[in-house]
Structure 1
């Protein structure tokens, strides 16, 4: 049996648990990368995101008690299951897709080990109306009759908040059967059968009318069924609600009450049926003779012990529970007539017909269709309304839901007028109804509909008129009035429409370091400081701050702040979020941003306790932050989204809160995520009612679609998008065709090629120097759109102390050729035996063009071969971080307006972002000296010296300074950007114009 020592690591009795945790996670990453290589697979972005999710989700003991090889295999299986399900769904979206992988393994401890079975279940669920619980998995496992018991481990992964769910759990052998291996194929087949039967289907809301008018109308309908003193009671049974313990039905019952008869509830309570009978109302509806009355009763019956009516999947069997109501009535009253019993069967058939007409909506938004269907009144029309009218009415509602600028639609079908209305204001809907739908002398109202979905309320009517001319006159008057009323009283909301080119956002600000994730998190979260409309750093969550005399201790006083769920936000939430990033077991690539804080780096490396870190909440309103040395850029650094707070209560209870759109997703920024975005939109943002500065916001919301670049360009042409390109997309050459809409934005971007100084032959400085001198930068950037400038330093244009005039021999191919041959001599190799250089780059059009230019120039000048390797972002970053490259393309962005931000990356070779694996003692001395130098002029001289060392060691091939270019409609006002070119979309506004 394997020892518990991690691969490549020695057991160290003095190692801290945090250090062991880091080693275990690093070992998992390496194993996963090796697995991908062995299977000729790509370490792409989706696998990187799955890796990040599982490393963040698994508890610490999970890593210490299972082998890295097994965990890596588990993560790979999870990723493969997601891909398989996505493919199966694309082939047949109507079928239920399940897949199940089981792997025997060991769960270890210092003194023993235990045989277990690791199980990964992949399943397609309707996220809004279906679920699988831990209890359901446990029951399915028990029904397999394999003598297995479920262990404590249970995790759920819902990638992209889609219909695909991945469950990981573990099963152990029961004591008496530990020596008997399980028949895995049989177990797999049996479990899949059992778990499918335990998918919990939530009961759809049945929007039955309960107002007095509806009750009386139904009682009068039943009254007409009583024609003699011998007639049996007539009954309408309506579902009301249910909870974990009981189901409630409302009963409308009309009977002949003879002299001396007991009241209905007394008769029911005397029966053998032991249910709860709730008092209601009794109406006198007429009489036959003296002492014989026609009596109407309205009351509730609550069925106890809900488990009697639950299916295997825990959903309610509505027909079975309704049948029980009839049995209760018959037990107490004798024979009764179920007036709407047959109608419910027809109603179910009609709903199935409707679902067949709209398969995509049924699959993606089943509640939308069901809410509509059950809202139809009178209730019998749900079973009898012609399907064509159903279809047109629903299509109008669906179209209305998708529209952001329209609040009504009308259509004529089968000589009937169909009207649909939408509003977020119930009073507005009632006002419209009072104005136009109360005078039934003009028409006959066939049906009405009132329901809600997401943030919207809907009303609809189907009206019948004597003549077509009356219908047309009425429609014209309605259109005229509703349009005028909307212009005067219902201003159109300012909604910004943008498109997301990327696969997914990281909604957890602690790990969201890509440009698009930073942009979205600045909309959802707010830090102590923020960049304002003028591009300057201002206080945001902080009301004020005090700075110590040595300029190393900041005491922040917070405003009155709240989370989007109304819960108070305190200084503890800041301390919790920041220290979570600095805990060794927390996976993030961006912890280095916090290393300015006292003991932050030491805590991340497991060398000191988090209690020693210079972050402390003194009380709910005061946060104290200690930094290692004075830093004039510290307040600007705090404006980055990574320094956002996180709701500590939610994060402790649900570490995966950022992957869902439920009540656990709470934020504190200008906007919040809508739980139910409209069809077509990937995400929708709405104003956060608890944001401290909400009165200054101009936008009411942001709608984010996710279509391919060609479709997005068409949408922009058609006026369906207001903004196209960075930060949520990639700039395209086609943008240049839009003169009036094209915007060019200065940024801090600089394009590099990193040299791996530990990789042969780039370990030789002469070879690197040759590559530095041979590149014709001006020629290279000719094919790249934008006003790009050649770069000779790794620092952004705003921060560099050098210009091309310092290097009169730059772009000198003769010198490059000379350096190259000097390097060959030092290495002891010939030009012919020189191995091809591999150039890797993120797989997109711009990087390919740049890399192709570099390849051609190297081959033409030096006479050696190069190969181009374009990979997805996830694989690219992994290969750069692990040193599996020779030359790697990079687009660097400074997040702070200070040269030291970029220079510090190269200080230590073990820094995660130091891809070149280079360090230099003299360079380190200068960086340390600059950090403590208070005289700004002297500090600039020191940083200039450090930059020169970096350039003269040729660890980075700087190419050019880049710009962002994007499309926006002329009516859109953008704020001034920060000095680094960052745009805060929450500050955007539309020019003054009417929004009808």
Structure 2
């Protein structure tokens, strides 16, 4: 996409806003949603395509949102965002000085084909997901489990992972060091089991279509052929807790444009529609609107490979300082989103040693300073021996809101930084994933949603050897702080949080990633839909939802 004139963009923005306001006036009168008396199914949307159902192949929101409602791990998060028993019968207490966990599995848990869920199903799943051949880029999440780091690095066999089936219904996990947040992690789809029968039966086809998997959750995925944009979660008759499940099915479809989402909602074709940008701005007083706060940060990932234009820290700092995040959230997003000044999002965790929100206490002193940005830019160009125009490619997905944010970033850089030319590239989900993993970008728009309520969840992917460190950030001080926090200092609260503060401060200084805004979703929700669990860290749970009359 070509560069745009900011004034023209604002005029266009105003025109679209007026259109959204007119739509809002219509939408505020009510929607055509039916109550539970006429149906027992809900329709949801995903903002991107489903690329796989195999956690070893892909780790993104569409797959996790789908698996959250069709699979179950040892625990699931309750209404207080605390782990509660699922496949495990109770909350395990660590032994062996915090390094051993023993989980007793429920004997009435079954897969959708009727097979019992066994400890071996967990062992096989974790071994697949931690393997260096796993394509998800998410095998780092197993770090801390015995031998996981060596396995990911290709130095040990995946069979040496510290996870064992002591018998059919007893799973034991051994850690390299204590991990006080380990139980919180067990709600993540990355730690879900995989049917041994399905893995043997489907082989390389596992998870490539909905029919090439078995499911142990309240619903099973149907109708996804590997490429289509809609699929259905149908009631799993083998689920152990049938009385807790009220819906017969959950329909999912890909909707990338917020205006389309709004229209589908008003037509009664979506029971929960995610809206953003000008559409959300015009609907802030709609009676069906709710804001869902997420422990996630939308940010720019910068390519720091040798020879890349943004390998220089001062150039990265300059770009961060020309972005007016207040203007971005108020004028472009307009959906309740808040500016993000740290990579770790606000409300992720309170630092127990200070009593302060972690993101607030580590916020940099300067967040928007064009004069300083120009100075840093000039110094960075000189240090990197760059002369003439510096060409930057800003890459993101093809959602409308992503494109709008990209245009804002493009204009901010063009107006304030001499000799900078930004070209926008908008790609479908699969193309974006390939571009990201191959490192073929200068600046990439992305999101990190915290896996669990601890800043360490953000820091993990910034270490040198993380498979998801696609920008190739490499800093010995940062890695040392992370290593200390996840080993010797894990049981020392004061030292652990000092390590975390040091890591966030280092990111503020070197700016390998540029935070833009905090993830706060605007949802139009069917007033009859109740019982949905919106988790700040993790995915939304619709499994216990129901429709009122």
What does residue 752 of structure 1 align with?
299
The residue aligned with 2:448 is: 892
String of CA shifts for 1:833-872, please: whole Å, max 9, x gaps: 1322222222222222222222222222122222222222
* Structure with bigger gyration radius: 1
**CA spacing shift, 1:559–1:956, aligned 2, 3 Å:** same
Alpha-carbon separation, structure 1, partners of 2:294 and 2:223? 34
Task: Please name the residue that 2:103 is paired with.
Answer: 556
Distance 1:945 1:541 in 2: 37
Alignment correspondent of 1:716: 265
Q: Which residue of 523, 528, 534 corresponds with 1:971?
A: 528
Moved more, 516-525 or 579-588: 579-588
Shift of 1:805: 9.1
Counterpart of 2:403? 848
Paired residues of 1:509 and 1:521 also in contact (CA < 8 A):
no
Q: Distance in 2 between matches of 1:641 and 1:796?
A: 21
**Equivalent residue for 2:372, pick from 815, 830, 834:** 815
Deviations 1:284-327 (A, max 9, x none): xxxxxxxxxxxxxxxxxxxxxxxxxxxxxxxxxxxxxxxxxxxx
- Residue 553 (structure 1) shift: 0.8
Mapping of 1:121-132 within 5 angstroms? none
**Matched position secondary structure for 1:703:** strand
Q: Which residue of 1 aligns with 2:172?
A: 624
The within-5 A match list for 1:95-494 is 494=40
Q: Deviation at 1:823?
A: 1.9
CA contact (8 A) 1:546 1:556 kept: no
Q: Call closer, same or farther: CA 1:610–1:507 in 2, change over 3 Å.
A: closer
Asked which structure has the greater RCO (Cα within 8 Å, sep 6+), the reply is 2
The range that moved more, 917-926 or 870-879, is 870-879
Aligned length: 496
* Alpha-carbon distance between aligned partners in 2 of 1:586 and 1:819, rounded to the nearest angstrom: 40
Question: Are the counterparts in 2 of residues 563 and 690 from structure 1 also a CA contact under 8 Å?
Answer: yes
C-alpha contact (below 8 Å) 1:804/1:810 kept by paired residues: no
Aligned-residue CA RMSD (Å): 2.9
The aligned residue for residue 279 of structure 2 is: 734
CA contact (8 A) 1:596 1:628 kept: yes
Report the equivalent of 2:334. Answer: 785
Shift of 1:746: 0.3
Q: 2:233 aligns with which of 672, 678, 685?
A: 685
Compute the displacement of 1:557 (Å).
0.5
Query: In structure 2, how many angstroms separate the alpha carbons of the residues matched to 1:819 and 1:706?
Result: 42
Residues 828 and 644 (structure 1 numbering): CA distance in 2 closer, same or farther, change over 3 Å? closer
Structure 1: gaps (5+ residues)? 1-403, 407-486
Instruction: Mark the CA change 1:976 to 1:577 in structure 2 (over 3 Å): closer, same or farther.
Output: closer
TM-aligned CA deviation for residue 917 of structure 1? 0.9
Q: Secondary structure at the match of 1:547?
A: coil
C-alpha distance in structure 2 between counterparts of 1:917 and 1:706, whole Å: 31
Secondary structure of 2:433's aligned partner:
helix
User: How many Å apart are 1:646 and its aligned residue?
Assistant: 1.2
Distance 2:416 2:232 in 1: 52
How many angstroms does 1:594 deviate by?
A: 1.6
TM-score by length of 1: 0.47
Paired residue for 2:547?
990
State the Cα distance separating 1:784 from its structure 2 match: 0.8
- Alignment partner, residue 296 of structure 1: none
Secondary structure at the counterpart of residue 424 of structure 2: strand
Please give the per-residue CA displacement for 1:114-140, whole angstroms capped at 9, x wherever unaligned: xxxxxxxxxxxxxxxxxxxxxxxxxxx
Deviations 1:728-747 (A, max 9, x none): xx646435437011121001
State the 1:538 CA deviation: 1.1
In 2 relative to 1, CA 713–958 (structure 1 residues): closer, same or farther, beyond 3 Å? closer
Task: Measure the CA separation in 2 of the matches of 1:854 and 1:774.
Answer: 9
Match of 2:429 among 869, 873, 886: 873
Extract unaligned runs of 5+ from structure 2: 1-32, 349-356
Task: Write the distance in 2 (CA, Å) between the matches of 1:916 and 1:763.
Answer: 10
**Distance apart, 1:981 and its partner CA:** 6.3
SS in structure 2 opposite 1:847?
A: helix
* Secondary structure of 1:985's aligned partner: coil
Do the aligned partners of 2:296 and 2:447 also contact (CA within 8 Å) in 1?
yes
In structure 2, distance between residues paired with 1:517 and 1:884: 24
Which residue of 117, 120, 128 corresponds with 1:572? 120
Match of 1:514 among 35, 60, 66: 60
Change (3 A) 1:777 1:558: same
| Aligned mates of 1:765, 1:675 — CA distance in 2 | 48
SS in 2 for 1:618: strand
| C-alpha spacing 1:524/1:534, structure 2 compared with 1 (3 Å) | same
User: Compared with structure 1, are the counterparts of its residues 796 and 506 closer, same or farther at alpha carbon in structure 2 (3 Å cutoff)?
Assistant: same
**In structure 2, the residue corresponding to 1:771 is in which secondary structure?**
helix
